[in-house]
Amino acid sequence: MTSTTPIRLSDLAGAIRNSIADNFGNRIFWVLADVANYKCYQQKNHHYFDLVEKGPKGITTKLNAVAWWEGDKRIRAFEKQTGQKFGNDIHVLASVSVEYHVVYGLKLTLLDIDSRFTLGQLEEQRQATLDRLLNEYPDMVWKVGDRYVTANMELAFRKVIQRIAVIASESSAGFEDFMHSFETKGKGYQFHFDNYFTRVQGQDNADDLVARLHEINESKNEYDAVVIIRGGGAQTDLLIFDDYAIALAVAGLHVPVITGIGHLRNETITDMMAHTVTKTPTECAEFIISHNRSFEDEILQFQKHILLRVQQTLAVKNREIRQLDQRIIQSARTCINIGKQKLSETNQRVTHNTRRHLFAQQRELMKIATGISMRPQSMIEKGYISMSQAVNMLTTHVAHVIQNRHARLEHLTSLLKMSSPEEILKRGFAIVKVNDRIITDPAELGPGDQMQVILKKTEIETTIISKNEYNGKDFTL
């Protein structure tokens, strides 16, 4: 046995406490370490954890640490500034004081955390992830200047987005906001949603989210868009969207990806890989509705253009019909006048010829009458027969001439009836009237004038929108 006088354990512990207090009591140290065995008691805002240093073969140094009320405030500030949740396996630059308690032993008390150090580390990790995507998958991710471009960005949205694959947490407010926006603002449009529910917060859930993306990519459904939405939550929950596997799956997805993961300032790597980025689930829904409304507006504008072209064409055709109508009426009048003139001339010739033949026959008859007394009865009979034949020939000739002229007159009358306005309207033409007056001169009409268009058994009230020159080739005979 040693001859050293024994002391109480409390005396030894007190000596250790005094020694540590003398050497470390008034000093603050900034240490680099990893967090391990983290526990938090929310009711008291007390944090218990280990600060460890790791070497190639594992942990080389470990000290117990705590954070009380002041340390809790610094942890909350750290999480808000970095977006990194304080917990196991994070590397921090922390300000600590050294304390020794005779019951609880040696502990480090956390006084502050350097957010800039962690932000720098996170940015290094983000950059390392982006560089890895560029180097390992240059066909999916590349840079144009300072901008990252992906195969997903090169995809084009369809004219109308209807079939949508939704990646979201089933119970999240963001998913409810997303669907509510379609119910209230998407009325009149039809949408079909296939929900791929998964947790979208926490780095431990990255594999599940990647699995949903692969499931969509391999689905036989032809989706118009894939949306990844997340509503609210802590800023630290965004770290899942800096995951390499998620970013790669989004960049290579064969359907355009729209993100709305509920952040207002930071841009995650998933956002950088996606086709379209929106800030919130509601904005994501409004983007899709706006996209469809743009197509509807384009169709309505095209419809207006078609109506205008139809009205212009109708105006031109109406002008042509009026001109053709005038030409037909004029031609009919000319034909009727010519027919009347020819009929009158024919009547005069028939009358003259008839008189001439009658006079000639009368002369012959007088000769025959003179010779009656001088010739026998046979001669009289022969003369009578000759006279009858002459009368018959004259009657037949006159009837034939009259019949021919009557047929010609009927033909001209038929042409005149075919040229009447009623027959022209039956063939698809129209008569234009203004103030119950038929308009034949297009110079009398102009844009804004009210006119009546008369079709077969129909009268249309219309307004002239435009007036253009027309060459009339469509109706050239």
Q: In the 3-class helix/strand/coil scheme, how is 347-399 assigned residue by residue?
A: HHHHHHHHHHHHHHHHHHHHHHHHHHCCCCHHHHHHHHHHHHHHHHHHHHHHH
| Domains contained in the chain, CATH given | 9-113 (2.40.50.140), 124-279 (3.40.50), 303-427 (no CATH)
Query: Cα angle at 355 between 350 and 361, to 5 degrees?
Result: 125
- 272-285: pLDDT as tens digits: 999 999 989 999 99
**Strand pairing partners for 98?**
108
Contact 225, 288 (CB under 8 A): yes
CA atoms within 13 A on the CB side of 229: 29
CA of residue 47 relative to chain centroid, distance:
54
* Burial class of residue 314 in the structure, from the number of CB atoms within 10 Å of its CB (0-12 exposed, 13-18 middle, 19+ buried): middle
Provide the pLDDT for residue 204. Answer: 65
| Lowest mean pLDDT across 57-66, 262-271, 317-326, 453-462 | 262-271
pLDDT at residue 84 tops 80: no
CA of residue 284 relative to chain centroid, distance:
16
| Lowest mean pLDDT across 51-65, 76-90, 162-176, 309-323 | 76-90
- Neighbouring CB atoms inside 10 A of 65's CB total 24
- 417-468: pLDDT as tens digits: 777 777 777 777 888 888 888 888 888 888 888 888 888 778 888 888 888 8
| Lowest mean pLDDT across 115-124, 322-331, 355-364, 392-401 | 115-124
Contact 163, 192 (CB under 8 A): yes
CA of residue 203 relative to chain centroid, distance:
37
Q: What is the band of 233 on the pLDDT scale with cuts at 50, 70, 90?
A: low
C-alpha distances (whole Å) from 259 to each of 110, 156, 193, 396 are 38, 16, 16, 103
| Lowest mean pLDDT across 103-117, 269-283, 405-419 | 405-419
Task: Pull the structure tokens for residue 84.
Answer: 């990194």
- Neighbouring CB atoms inside 10 A of 316's CB total 19
Backbone angles phi, psi at 51, to 5 degrees: -105, 120
- 296-347: pLDDT as tens digits: 888 889 889 898 899 888 888 888 888 888 888 888 888 888 988 888 888 8
d(CA 332, CA 413) in angstroms, rounded, equals: 9
* Burial class of residue 150 in the structure, from the number of CB atoms within 10 Å of its CB (0-12 exposed, 13-18 middle, 19+ buried): buried
d(CA 417, CA 330) in angstroms, rounded, equals: 13
Length of the chain: 477
Which phi-psi region, left, alpha or beta, contains residue 50 (left: φ > 0; alpha: ψ -120 to 50)? Answer: beta
Provide the pLDDT for residue 412. Answer: 83
